[in-house]
Structure 1
Amino acid sequence: MTYVLGLNAYHADAAACLVKDGDLVAAVEEERFRRVKHWGGFPSESIRYCLKEAGISLSDVDHVAVNCDNAANRWRKLVYVLTSGVSPGYIIKRLRHRGNRADVAGNLQRGLPDEKFTGTVHAVEHHLCHLASAFLVSPYDKAVAVSVDGFGDFSSAAWGLGEGRNIPVDGRVYFPHSLGVFYEAMTQFIGFPHYGDEYKVMGLAPFGEPTYVDRMKEIVRLKDDGSFALDLRYFRHASGEGADYSVKEGIPSGGRLWSDALIELLGPARDPSAPLEDKHRDIARSAQVTYENAFFHLLGALHRRYRTDALVLAGGCAYNSVANGKILERSPFKHVYVQSAGGDAGGSIGAAFATWHKVEGDKAKRHFVMDHAYWGPWATPEEIAVAISRRRADFEAAGCKIMRIADEATLCKRTAAAIAEGRVIGWFQGRLEWGPRALGNRSILGDPRRADMKDILNLKIKRRESFRPFAPSILREAVKDWFETDEDVPFMMQVFKIKADKRKQIPAVTHVDGSGRLQTVTWAGNPRYARLIQIFGEITGVPIVLNTSFNENEPVVCKPEEAIDCFLRTRMDVLVLGDTFIER
Structure 2
Amino acid sequence: MIILGLNAYHGDSSACIVVDGKLIAAVEEERFTRIKHWAGLPVQAINYCLQEAGVTLGDVDHIAINRDPKANFMKKALFAFYKRPSLRLVTDRLKNAGKVKDIKEELIVSIQGSRVRGPESKAQVHNVEHHIAHLASSFFVSPFEEAVVVSVDGFGDFVGAMWGVAKGNKIEVKHRTFFPHSLGLFYLAFTQYLGFCKYGDEYKVMGLAAYGEPEYMKEMRQIVKITDDNFNLNLDYFIHHSEGVTMTWENGEPKMGPVFSKKLEEFLGPARKNGKEIEKRHKNLAASLQRRYEEVLFNILNRVYKKTDCPNLVLSGGCAMNSVANGKIFQNTPFRKVYIQPAAGDAGGSIGAAYYVWNQVLNKPRSFVLEKPYLGSDFSDDEVSNHLSAINCQLKENNCSVQHSRDVVTLCRTTAQHIAEGKVIGWFQGRMEWGPRALGNRSIIGDPRRSDMKNILNLKIKRRESFRPFAPSIHLDAVGEYFETSYPDPFMLKVYKIKPEKREIIPAVTHVDGTGRLQTVRKEDNPIYWQLIEEFRKITGIPVLLNTSFNENEPIVCKPEEALDCFLRTKMDVLVMGSYFVERADNRLEIIVNR
TM-score if structure 2 supplies the norm length? Answer: 0.97
* Structure 2 Cα separation of the partners of residues 40 and 97 of structure 1: 12
Residues 60-459 of structure 1: matches in 2 within 5 Å?
60-115=59-114, 116=116, 117-225=121-229, 227-239=230-242, 241-361=243-363, 364-459=364-459
What are the residue-to-residue correspondences of 1:40-55 with 2, within 5 Å?
40-55=39-54
The change in CA–CA distance for 1:89 and 1:500 in structure 2 (over 3 A counts) is closer
- Answer with 346-355 or 393-402: which moved more: 393-402
What displacement does 1:360 show?
A: 2.9
Identity %: 54
Residue 485 of structure 1 is matched in structure 2 by 485
For structure 1, the 5+ residue unaligned runs are none
Does structure 1 residue 569 correspond to structure 2 residue 573? no
| Partners of 1:263 and 1:228 in 2: CA distance | 22
Q: The residue matched to 2:292 in structure 1 has which SS? A: helix
Secondary structure of 2:4 counterpart: strand
CA distance in 2, matches of 1:333, 1:294: 16
Number of aligned residue pairs: 579
Contact 2:39–2:254 (CA under 8 A) maintained in structure 1: yes
Deviation at 1:118, TM superposition (A): 1.6
Within 2, Cα distance between the matches of 1:474 and 1:305? 36
- Deviating above 6 A after TM superposition, structure 1's stretches of 4 or more consecutive aligned residues are none
Q: Distance in 2 between matches of 1:420 and 1:142?
A: 45
Match of 1:167, SS?
strand
> What is the alpha-carbon distance in structure 1 between the residues aligned to residue 501 and residue 19 of structure 2?
48
Indicate the SS of the match to 1:454: helix
Q: In 1, Cα distance between the equivalents of 2:427 and 2:275?
A: 33
> Counterparts of 1:359 and 1:273 in 2: how far apart (Å)?
49
Tell me the SS of whatever aligns to 1:581.
Answer: strand
* Distance in 2 between residues matched to 1:113 and 1:343, nearest whole Å: 28
1:538 offset after TM fit, Å? 0.8
Structure 2 gaps, min length 5: 585-595
- Any conservation in 1 of the 2:139–2:166 contact (CA below 8 Å)? yes
Question: What residue is the counterpart of 1:35 in the other structure?
Answer: 34
Q: CA separation in 2, counterparts of 1:326 and 1:455?
A: 28
Asked whether the 8 Å contact 1:453–1:508 carries over to 2, the reply is: yes
Q: CA deviation at 1:242?
A: 4.7
1:507 aligns with 2:507: yes
- Letter of the aligned partner of 2:174 in structure 1? D
The secondary structure found in structure 2 opposite 1:439 is coil
Question: 2:85 touches 2:244 (CA, 8 Å); kept in 1?
Answer: no
Tell me the SS of whatever aligns to 1:249.
Answer: helix
| SS of alignment partner, residue 168 of structure 1 | strand
Give me the whole-angstrom Cα distance separating, in 1, the residues matched to 2:393 and 2:231: 60
SS of 2:134's equivalent? helix
Which residue of 1 is the match for residue 18 of structure 2? 19
- 1:38-88 alpha-carbon deviations (Å, 9 max, x no partner): 000001100110111111111111000001000000000000001102122
Deviation larger for 146-155 or 268-277: 268-277
Q: CA deviation at 1:89?
A: 3.4
More displaced 10-residue stretch of structure 1: 429-438 or 260-269: 260-269
**What do you get for the CA RMSD once the two structures are aligned?**
0.8
d(CA) in 1 for partners of 2:361 and 2:264?
48
Report the secondary structure of 2:162's partner residue: strand
Q: 2:588 maps to which residue?
A: none
Does structure 1 retain, via aligned residues, the 8 Å contact 2:169–2:360?
A: no
8 Å CA contact 2:170, 2:360 repeated in 1: no
Q: Read off the aligned partner of 1:236 and give its amino acid letter.
A: I
The question of whether the paired residues in 2 share the 8 Å contact of 1:242 and 1:254 is answered with no
Partners in 1 of 2:109 and 2:389 — Cα distance?
Answer: 35
Q: Secondary structure at the match of 2:254?
A: strand
Cα deviation digits, residues 423-443 of structure 1 (max 9, x gap): 000000000000000000000
CA distance in 2, matches of 1:23, 1:358: 15
Determine if contact 2:68/2:128 at 8 Å carries over to the other structure: yes
The CA distance in 1 between the partners of 2:105 and 2:161, in whole Å, is 31
Distance 2:497 2:203 in 1: 18
Tell me, in whole angstroms, the C-alpha distance in 2 between the residues paired with 1:100 and 1:403.
Answer: 50
Q: Distance in 2 between matches of 1:114 and 1:394?
A: 34
Q: Does the aligned pair in 2 maintain the 1:242–1:256 contact within 8 Å?
A: no
Name the amino acid aligned to 1:268: P
Distance 1:180 1:217 in 2: 16
**CA distance in structure 1 between the aligned counterparts of 2:92 and 2:530, rounded to whole angstroms:** 51
For residue 551 of structure 1, give the secondary structure of its aligned residue in structure 2.
Answer: coil
SS in 2 for 1:508: helix
1:430 alignment partner, SS class: coil
The CA deviation at 1:359 is: 4.3
Partner of 1:467: 467
CA distance in 2, matches of 1:359, 1:492: 31
In structure 1, the residue corresponding to 2:445 is in which secondary structure?
strand
What do residues 271-293 of structure 1 show as CA deviations (whole Å, max 9, x unaligned)?
11211010000000000001000
Partner Cα distance (1:89, 1:393) in 2? 54
CA positional deviation for 1:395: 1.0
